[in-house]
């Protein structure tokens, strides 16, 4: 707003300074340093009504796109966390249908869109996890475990896809184009198509566009923030495997290491048993639980905990047989090495370190560490990420983990050759993860969360990324990007944690209203939770315990009075 003639000269001079300060810029009063310009404030979306659904299949005419169906879905036909989803239109289709000249298989980018009858003017790209390969319902997760709401219910038009291959298996890695679609090109192709489809359905394109997901979906979103910064106004990133090929090689190294400690041949879980994992978690809690002022079974300050806890000092060394009350010297050496960051036999660091935390004893943690190397990581590395790939017809995941050359894997995921003109470290990673200047300068926003007990993608990696982002932005990136650690949460959900939260709503408020999310309230999912009970919530906790998730490097601290079950009695500092 321009000052009126009635304003005094002093007030007129102060007004732009105040506006800059409120928008996150720096006024640098009393110095000769130029003020940091305020970032643009994006306008709020306005809605529209879907006139018809069933005729969309014939009305939509888009390049390289086949619409296979458009079906009206009545209000309440779909429910999430007991909530009936409002009436909407489900549109299904595929893009770039082809038969590969490499492996003879048929490929296409399959998708579904769900278009609310009462639309809020926003588009949400639902980035899915794992190897993709299936079109799941396009509802738009809002973050955390057992969410109580979804983007579709909030009025977004939502798209979900299979990322260019029709099965959640790694055999598509034989086709170079299928690799590129999985890595980043499916998002690049689907996004403009979806916006055009929305324009046909509602008579206008979306005013605001968002993308979000967890795990590989978080990676998709982080890649989009870099590659497609002009297409998205808000990016929601959960437990991102943004360096997924390296994390997968590291997990193979971990599977091999746990197998070397196993007391039962072929069962790496016996190399670090549930009792032993509970022992380590409890030892970490003994050192770190009270750092936030409350002894409550949660470690809020993960970084401080890693400095305070020492595996060799704080966990007993077995003098005899392993019985769950101690770790052997070999276990301490091997497990300590994995937490410090897996390496090749020659000592080359593969990925990154993992924090000692409260959620090591869960089934989710065990599944990723002991089962995933052969069931997930071997195929991903051997068939999708390596150049050239292994022979899919004869590939043996267990043998690949047991006998494979870690140094060769590390080399091959960064290699090109023949038909494979982009390495996995190119098509899977953001081109420059800490250069988000285009996203920033448009006024777009980014929110990232990561569970500190994630066993496959380390929250330390996300913290290091965010530190780099801060450095690239003069030491502070909080005016457009914030990172929230979720204490105790495993991979995207679970763990002894308050891990149920909606991060999409505060993201929208930040993008469209300029309300920066200084914290996000998260709740535990104890008995009776509508989003599903988290079996890892301790019985001693309130079933609805809540905590503030704080923007890193701030952490939640107890104020000193009031119930420790209530987020209101904790502050971020």
Catalytic residues: 215, 454, 491
Give the angle subtended at the CA of 416 by the CAs of 414 and 422, to the nearest 5°: 85
Q: How far apart are CA 217 and CA 44, in angstroms?
A: 26
Q: How far apart are CA 241 and CA 130, in angstroms?
A: 10
Buried/exposed code over 141-160 (b: 16+ C-beta within 10 A; e: otherwise): bbbbbbbbbbbbbbbbbbbb
Q: How far apart are CA 423 and CA 417, in angstroms?
A: 9
Neighbours of 570 (CB within 10 A): 25
Q: 99 CB contacts (<8 Å, ≥6 apart)?
A: 105, 106, 107
For residue 230, what is the DSSP state? T
Cβ proximity of 448 and 413 under 8 Å: no
Cis omega (within 30 of 0) for bond into 226: no
3-state secondary structure of 135: coil
536 alpha-carbon distance from chain centroid? 21
For residue 375, what is the DSSP state? I
Tell me the CA distances in angstroms from 283 to 176, 279, 314, 354, one per residue in order: 47, 6, 6, 16
Q: How far apart are CA 390 and CA 400, in angstroms?
A: 10
Cβ proximity of 119 and 47 under 8 Å: yes
Cβ proximity of 378 and 397 under 8 Å: yes
Beta strands in 121-250 (DSSP E): 122-126, 157-161, 208-214, 234-238
By DSSP bridging, strand 234-238 and strand 157-161 are unpaired
Tell me how far apart the 2 most distant CA atoms of the chain are, in Å: 86
Cis omega (within 30 of 0) for bond into 388: yes
3-state secondary structure of 339: helix
Q: How far apart are CA 505 and CA 256, in angstroms?
A: 42
Tell me the CA distances in angstroms from 107 to 64, 110, 137, 170, 222, one per residue in order: 13, 9, 20, 14, 25
Neighbours of 77 (CB within 10 A): 12
């Amino acid at each position: 707003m321009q000052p009126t003639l009635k304003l005094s000269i002093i007030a007129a001079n102060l007004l732009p300074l105040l506006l800059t300060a409120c928008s996150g810029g720096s006024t640098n009063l009393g110095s000769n340093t130029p003020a940091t310009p305020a970032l643009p404030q994006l306008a709020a979306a306005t809605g529209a009504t879907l006139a018809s659904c069933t005729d969309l299949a014939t009305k939509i005419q888009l390049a390289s796109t086949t619409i296979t169906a458009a079906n009206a879905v009545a209000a309440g036909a779909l429910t999430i966390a007991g909530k009936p989803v409002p009436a909407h239109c489900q549109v299904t289709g595929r893009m770039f249908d082809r038969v590969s000249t490499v492996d003879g298989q048929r490929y296409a980018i399959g998708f579904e869109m769900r278009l609310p009858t009462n639309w809020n003017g926003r588009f949400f790209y639902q980035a899915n996890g794992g190897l993709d390969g299936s079109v799941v319902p396009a509802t738009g997760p809002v973050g955390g475990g057992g969410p109580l709401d979804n983007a579709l219910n909030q009025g977004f038009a939502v798209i979900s896809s299979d990322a260019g291959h029709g099965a959640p298996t790694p055999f598509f890695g034989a086709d170079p184009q299928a690799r590129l679609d999985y890595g980043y090109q499916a998002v690049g192709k689907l996004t403009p198509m979806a916006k055009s489809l929305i324009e046909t359905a509602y008579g206008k394109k979306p005013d605001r566009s968002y993308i979000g997901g967890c795990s590989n979906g978080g990676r998709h979103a982080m890649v989009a923030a870099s590659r497609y910064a002009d297409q998205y106004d808000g990016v929601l990133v959960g437990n991102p495997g943004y360096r997924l090929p390296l994390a997968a090689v590291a997990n193979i190294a971990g599977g091999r290491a746990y197998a070397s400690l196993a007391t039962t041949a072929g069962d790496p879980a016996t190399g670090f048993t549930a009792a032993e994992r509970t022992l380590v978690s409890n030892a970490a809690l003994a050192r770190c639980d009270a750092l936030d002022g409350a002894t409550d079974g949660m470690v809020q300050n993960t970084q401080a905990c890693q400095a305070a806890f020492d595996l060799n000092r704080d966990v007993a060394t077995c003098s005899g047989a392993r019985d769950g009350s101690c770790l052997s010297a070999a276990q301490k050496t091997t497990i300590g090495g994995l937490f410090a960051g897996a390496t090749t036999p020659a000592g080359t660091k593969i990925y990154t370190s993992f924090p000692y935390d409260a959620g090591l004893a869960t089934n989710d943690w065990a599944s990723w560490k002991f089962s995933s190397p052969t069931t997930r990581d071997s195929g991903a590395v051997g068939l999708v990420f390596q150049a050239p790939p292994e022979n899919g017809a004869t590939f043996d995941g267990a043998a690949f983990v047991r006998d494979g050359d870690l140094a060769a894997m590390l080399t091959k995921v960064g290699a090109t050759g023949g038909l494979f003109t982009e390495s996995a470290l190119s098509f899977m990673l953001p081109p420059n993860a800490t250069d988000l200047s285009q996203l920033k300068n448009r006024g777009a926003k980014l929110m990232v969360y990561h569970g500190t007990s994630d066993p496959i993608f380390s929250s330390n990696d996300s913290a290091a990324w965010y530190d780099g982002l801060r450095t690239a932005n003069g030491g502070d990136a909080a005016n457009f990007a914030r990172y929230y650690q979720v204490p105790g949460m495993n991979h995207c959900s679970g763990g002894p944690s308050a891990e149920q939260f909606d991060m999409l709503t505060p993201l929208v408020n930040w993008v469209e209203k300029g309300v920066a999310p200084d914290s996000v309230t998260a709740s535990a999912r104890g008995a009776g939770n509508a989003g599903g009970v988290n079996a890892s919530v301790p019985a001693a906790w309130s079933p609805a315990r809540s905590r503030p998730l704080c923007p890193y490097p701030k952490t939640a601290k107890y104020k000193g009075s009031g119930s420790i079950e209530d987020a209101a009695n904790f502050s971020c500092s």
